[in-house]
Structure 1
Amino acid sequence: MLADAFVVVLYRTQDLVNIAGAIRAMMNMGLRRLRLVSPAEFDDWRIKGIAHGAESVLARTELFDSLPDALADAVHVVGTTARRRTAAYVWQHPREAAPALLELAAAGRGPVALLFGPEDVGLTNDELDRCDRVLTVPADPRHSSLNLAQAVLIIGYELWLAAGAPEKPLPRPRRTAPPATSEELGLLFQDVEATLETVDFFKARNQAAVLRTLRALARRARLDSRESKLLRAIAIEVRKFLRRREVK
């Protein structure tokens, strides 16, 4: 639904690199329709070199000379800005607005336009007056201005989530060994203690407290059988090495 029901409108974009970045963000979030209004530069060959795989968006990109023409068929226009104005617009955060925007898009009466202004000044009040609602992304007030691609990505992401896009399950750890048994952990602690005694580690430390801490650490790590045996083998090899060197 996102691919056809929403159209991203970039108004007077100054840098071709930002157009490419916005296209990449669109592709990440399932948006495919782009309209450019009076961009300072447009070169689809260069954009393809910057935004890998941009062909599907570029093939549908439309160029306009005026903002009214670019928004003419939109049933709902969503403006974006980094700062709230005194004008009485309908202000929302992207997450709050996403369900309603999807409902409007699902009606199929026309595209929902997502309007982004020039990089340096954003949309003016006159341009925001054309919008049915205005989105602002909550951010650190000291650095609240996002670059164009970031803004497109965040709004697209909220729409993607609200649309119930399938999430790929995270890969499971490759761990195949079973958890370390109590006996295996006991043998590990026994050999670690013996090795620490060999190097006089407890000479100036409380032996019981150190071993208690090591046991707690190992249990928090939830060692598997293979890991427990590996650590035990390290402790044993250290003692063997010291004996060969006649250190102890």
Structure 2
Amino acid sequence: MDLNADLGEDFGVWRLGDSLALLDIITSANVACGFHAGDPLTIRRTCAAAVDRGVSIGAQVSYHDLAHFGRREMDVEPEELCAEVLYQLAAVDGIARAMGGRVSYVKPHGALYNRICRDPEQAAAVVEAVAHYDPSLPVLTLPGSVVHAVAAEAGVTTVCEAFADRAYTPRGTLVPRREPGAVIHEPSAVSARALQMAVKGSVTAIDGSLVPVTARSICVHGDTPDAVRLARAVRDDLLAAGVSLRAFA
């Protein structure tokens, strides 16, 4: 099982999360590309630290929305969105290569992530950018997302992930962040959910029902309060249960 987290989300004097500490725990780093968070220096430092620790680097592409951290729903023309994703991907990969590594996968962020799970047009724009840049790069997304079919048509691989620190609806989608209980903060609850996902292939939805989850990667958000403690609890419990951890890409 892969363990990923969103990193490199500092911007100028603004600090968010502890990327260096998380890089000692996770196996894949979703590096912010500067459109929802991050800046050139932060990207450089995050990529260098990931390479030093042998952590796989992913480009966390998003809508161009620094003011709302990429979590605002936006309508972007497909050609423009494709260009923006291509821009972000090329920027982070260029810096990663300068640091001795490379981008190994793509993970959309926030509103873009949720949008392309249900919107074939927006999904096609993201997939087109990946296909233009490097069609061998897998796209990380939810099980059941429309991205899977769109990417398959373009010859781009998709990889399923699950979220240890987010609540699920009975349909297998994430509970919107604006709703109470959408984000889970208790380390024991987060690690128990991760173990359930990894070992039993399911997650308990907000109504108590069991939802099947087939995932190759588990995410713990880097901007969640006490994210380092949550990620460490997940890692420790997975290893204790005999689940091996390694990057999917």
TM-score, length-scaled by structure 1? 0.38
TM-score, length-scaled by structure 2? 0.38
